Amino acid sequence: MNFIISSTTLLKHLQSISGVLSTSNSLPILDNFLFEIVDGQLTVSASDLETTMRTTLEIEANETGKIAIPAKILLDVLKNLPDQPCTFLVDKTNFSIEIAYDNGKAKMVGFDGEDYPRTPKIENSNTLKISGEIISKAINKTLFATGNDDLRPVMSGVFCQFSPEEIIFVATDAHKLVRYKRTDSQASGSSSFILPKKPLNLLKSNLSGSEEVQLEYNESNAVFTFNDIVLICRLIDGKYPNYEAVIPKENPNVLTIDRTQFLSSIRRVSIFANKTTHQIKLKLAGSELALSAEDIDFSNESNERLTCNYDGDDMEIGFNSRFLMEMLNNIESTEIRLEMSEPSKAGLLMPAVKENKHEDILMLVMPVMLNR
């Protein structure tokens, strides 16, 4: 099984799927890339059993066959080679691999490609076509709000809900929640599933935004196909919490303020907040917003005043400054709205003006109790 390929082309393809490789694999063969040649096409796969990624490229080869090649060594070799044709010579009897290039050659030993774990077949699946721009935007807007609690695995992923009217992506860690809705992309039927964090990060780094993504999914797996990449991942099993129930419906107190100004002010004031609670206080009265933070243990405190547009009763409410900053960083509009009902109930953060009529983004942040 011999083939010739350009070193930079191969490196580019390998780097696009190398994010799947895990440092703590239970099977040694998973530290390898699986190379498969069929009809002059090379398919390279990487897997950690939960997530598998494949990329396909045209090569010069007359034979078919498969071999598992050590990933780390191969990447290191290719990274240090200038762009040139590399000839791979594979001995199927002892799985040795020789890479010959302009002024030298490298040898290594791989594994039998037949021993590489098989990719699950997707049966009884639904298919949906969706633009890469929508997926990457939805991931960027929701991923930061996912949880890290091993005891509640459903909250460590992003909940995807498809219907003939719209598609919705939701992420929450019980302190903050993000709901991202699109009405310019629909599914034929209604369905929902939870995507884990790792494949979402891999999609994020590989999507350019201009491509169309084909999504195929069933009860247990999802397959994303775009450009020359196929990503297969196992879905998180479990029931997602009823997120609609926690979004407060009546929020008469509305603050409208310049996003950058608000964010900068929180950044400065939060330097003086308690390092465990990160609590900052918002005091709203008329057209003035007073932000304050204090750390009693070190006698640190900071206060700032901003002019804003506030409609509602005077109120004082406390938030975790880190959550607010994360949310404000993930909203793109110049002005934001913060809707509140009372100091003990969640606040809703959203763009003041919708820049895209098909897009609806809502972020919810739980308050922290103020020390009186």
Cα(81)–Cα(78) distance, integer angstroms: 5
Q: Helix or strand or coil: residue 14?
A: helix
Which CA distances in Å does 239 have to 159, 187, 202?
A: 10, 21, 24
In the chain, what are the domains?
A: 2-115 (3.10.150.10), 126-244 (3.10.150.10), 249-368 (3.10.150.10)
In terms of Cα–Cα distance, which of 216, 207, 209, 222 is closest to 187?
216
Cα(293)–Cα(267) distance, integer angstroms: 11
pTM tops 0.85: yes
Q: Helix or strand or coil: residue 318?
A: strand
Cα(204)–Cα(209) distance, integer angstroms: 10
Q: Can you give the pLDDT of all 372 residues of the chain as single tens digits? A: 899 999 999 999 999 999 999 888 888 999 999 999 998 899 999 999 999 999 999 988 888 999 999 999 999 999 999 999 999 999 989 999 999 999 999 999 999 999 999 988 888 888 999 999 999 999 999 999 999 988 899 999 999 999 999 999 999 999 999 999 999 888 888 899 999 999 999 999 999 888 999 999 999 999 999 999 999 999 999 999 999 999 999 999 999 999 999 999 999 999 999 999 999 999 999 899 999 999 988 889 999 999 999 999 999 999 999 999 999 999 999 999 999 999 999 999 999 998 889 999 999 999 998 765
